[in-house]
A and B are shown apart, each in its own frame.
Chain A
Amino acid sequence: MSLVLEIPPGFGRDLKSGTATEVLAIVDGSMPYKGETVEGYAAGIHQTLLGERDSAFFEDLTGLAGIEMRYRYNPSFESINAMAPGMPAILLILLPAILTAVSVARERELGSIANFYVTPTTRLEFLVGKQAPYIVISFANFLLLAAMTVLLFGVPLKGSVLALVVGGLLYVWGTTAFGLVISTLTSSQVAAVFATALSSVIPTIQFSGLLQPVSTLEGGARVIGSLWPASHFLHLSVGAFTKGLGWQGLAPDIAMLALYGPLFTLIAALALRSQER
């Protein structure tokens, strides 16, 4: 039960005689989001009824001024249009990062990384070599997810296709490089899985703008949300699909996404160098 309506005794009589009266609505507030929504609907229905009935009793704004509510980008306000383009942002950071991290950590744990230490391969070559296949796989995944969003979920791609694809490529470059960073900081596969999962699941699901816009987060969550790659790709993906933005609107996100790949690769290369014995 989410809502209890209590109509006081003599409500109808009071109404007819024009005496002011009250209706009590008790809302279950234990889940705030649900409570707020139920309350909003109750208040809305109340307003509508006030307007519909004989205005001798129920006078309010109606007839004086109107308020036109326009839901932009997603006029029917269906969550699929906002959520479906957001899902690739989650999957394309968690899976590529964890796969890349485990692939390097595995070599270290099993000792086969020694092969690399004795060959003239540079650190960067080793890292990029480990990363490259995962970029290819993840990019293929991205194309598949984008196709699914359009064909399976029926969300039209209204904006620039090319900008979305460029953003997707930069994003998987960055997320696989994030996996490299984790793998150079941890020494076992367990720790690599653990560290990647813990450092990425919560920022990605809670702080990236999927559930609430980054601009409304607070404190540490806000800082992480603004820097986390998933936030920018999510913004780009929702922008390209549902908002119908072109190159110009998506440029800031693409610029941010372009930073992560080189930055994380650099950090990983430096960290790997320092661990070499």
Chain B
Amino acid sequence: MRQLQRIFWLGLKEILSLRRDVVMMALLVYSFSVGLAMEATGTSTSVNNAAIAFVDEDRSALSRALATAFLPPEFQAVSYVEATEVDAGLDADRFLFAVIVPPAFEADLRARRQPELQVLIDATAMQQAGIGASYIHNILTAEVSRFATRQDLTAPAKVNLVIRSAFNPNRDTVQFQGVISLINNITTLTIILTGAALMREREHGTIEHLLAMPLSAFDIALAKIWANGLVVLAASVLAMLTIVEWLLDIEIAGSRLLFLCGAVLYLFSATALGIFLATIARSMAQFALLFILAIIPLQMLSGGDTPVESQPEWLQVLTLSLPTRHFITASQAILYKGASLESVWPEFLGVTLLGLLLLAGSLLLFRRSIAVER
């Protein structure tokens, strides 16, 4: 009981010292409001607003129909260029795709001479190039088929493929990106807030005051975890209600309470990671470097930027050690698919176990690393 009290007061001290730090508070507010909204609405993983160059060497009715078949929001209106300008334009990233219609394309088509359209793709823009290429292929195929059917060159296809999207039917990327951005913010802020709070005490020597008092390393760590976790939790709940649900209008299929439970577990894990990094580091500069080394895989390999399934198998196994991967999987299942605890408990368990592991590791190293400094 006394221990709980101690942890409570220590944590309160943590919150009070944070409240006085204007820069930190400003950054906290910024990243959960403007930063979050900008990231969610500005980026898009599917083809969006892509520039296409169109080389029309045929100048027929068909080639004009092809050029006007590319519509926003996926594509910008095509820009007509000469064949000689294509290479320079792709080099300079002025456009990502170029469609080339050869001379006498329409006439050759009518005469069944099998003319060829050419599509050039800037294959250095991975995400957009792959999806964009299949869009362009489909658009061109549909346009040419329509022309051919009208001219009685061919009969319509006998088997149609009807594609439906389960969950997020419009493939609205804001729906997806909004939640990912929120999780990214939670990760970044929690690790920095907790880790830096511990680091600062160590650099100023105030941690030795704490250690001289009848407090265990466990008390100190737990106080930092609950205090910083609570601050970020409050900020995330506010951001979830105002930015994610209201401003970005993201539909939530599942239970908010279950998501909140997941977020609490994740915050525990992330604060534990922050403490762990601050325990290994000897100075703020080292902590900062460790933070960068941790945040890059956490953000890029956890399934928020690219699907985990497309990683090589050995890496998929390794990413199981990232708490973010479990939390992203669970959040998507809860928020988009309305999953219940029955289907997300393995992820919840994973997040919790990783947090406990990190906390145990930090406690083990804590006194020792302080001793080394003296």
Contact = CB atoms under 8 A, between A and B. Distances in A.
A187 B291 contact: no
Contacts of B60: none
B332 A72 contact: no
Interface in A203-250: 205-207, 209, 211-222, 224, 235, 238-239, 242-243, 245, 249
A238 B96 CA distance: 14
B185 to A, nearest CB: 9
Contacts of A42: 161, 163
A195 B169 CA distance: 38
A69 B158 contact: no
B173 interface: yes
B2 interface: no
A218 B48 contact: yes
Contact of B141 (A47, A103, A194, A205): A47
A26 B167 CA distance: 10
Contacts of B38: 219-221, 224
A205 B119 contact: no
B160 A22 contact: yes
B114 A27 contact: no
Interface in B126-166: 126-131, 133-135, 137-138, 140-141, 144-145, 148, 153-166
A90 interface: yes
A47 B44 CA distance: 27
Nearest to B164: A26
Contacts of A125: none
B123 A207 contact: no
B330 to A, nearest CB: 12
Contact of A25 (B130, B161, B283): B161
Interface string B103-115: 0010001001011
A171 B33 CA distance: 30
Interface in A6-39: 15, 18-37, 39
A50 interface: yes
Given A75-B123, A95-B289, A98-B292, A191 B135 contact: no
A134 to B, nearest CB: 11
Contacts of A99: 285, 288-289
A193 B284 contact: yes
Contacts of B184: 202
Interface string B172-215: 11011000000010001000100011011001000000000000
A63 B114 contact: yes
A63 B118 CA distance: 16
A103 to B, nearest CB: 7
Contacts of A265: none
Interface residues of B, number: 107
- Most-contacted residue by chain B among A4, A72, A220 (CB, 10 A): A72
Contact of A205 (B44, B173, B299): B299
A238 B46 CA distance: 21
Interface in A79-126: 79, 81-83, 90, 94-95, 98-99, 102-103, 106, 109
A59 B122 contact: no
Interface stretch (B260-268, B304-312, B319-327): B304-312
- Most-contacted residue by chain A among B117, B156, B157 (CB, 10 A): B157
Interface stretch (B4-12, B22-30, B217-225, B356-364): B22-30
B79 interface: no
A69 B118 CA distance: 6
Contacts of B93: 213-215, 235
- Chain A contact patch, size range: 35 or more
Contact of A24 (B124, B162, B292): B162
A44 B137 contact: yes
A50 B154 CA distance: 13
Contacts of A106: 283-285
Contacts of A201: 188, 292, 295, 299
Contact of A193 (B116, B135, B164, B291): B291
Nearest to B161: A46
Contacts of A61: 141, 144-145, 148, 154
Nearest to B153: A64
Interface of B: 21, 23-24, 27, 30-31, 34-35, 38-39, 41-51, 90-93, 96, 105, 109, 112, 114-131, 133-135, 137-138, 140-141, 144-145, 148, 153-169, 171-173, 175-176, 184, 188, 192, 196-197, 199-200, 203, 283-285, 287-289, 291-292, 295-296, 299-300, 303, 305-307, 309, 332, 336-337
30 contacts: A15-B158, A20-B156, A21-B160, A22-B160, A30-B167, A32-B175, A33-B45, A35-B171, A36-B47, A40-B131, A46-B159, A69-B137, A70-B121, A72-B121, A73-B122, A73-B124, A94-B296, A98-B292, A188-B23, A188-B200, A190-B21, A191-B24, A197-B291, A198-B31, A198-B35, A198-B188, A202-B35, A205-B305, A212-B128, A213-B125
Given A63-B114, A245-B91, 10 more contacts: A26-B164, A64-B112, A72-B121, A106-B285, A188-B21, A189-B200, A194-B196, A207-B42, A215-B49, A243-B91
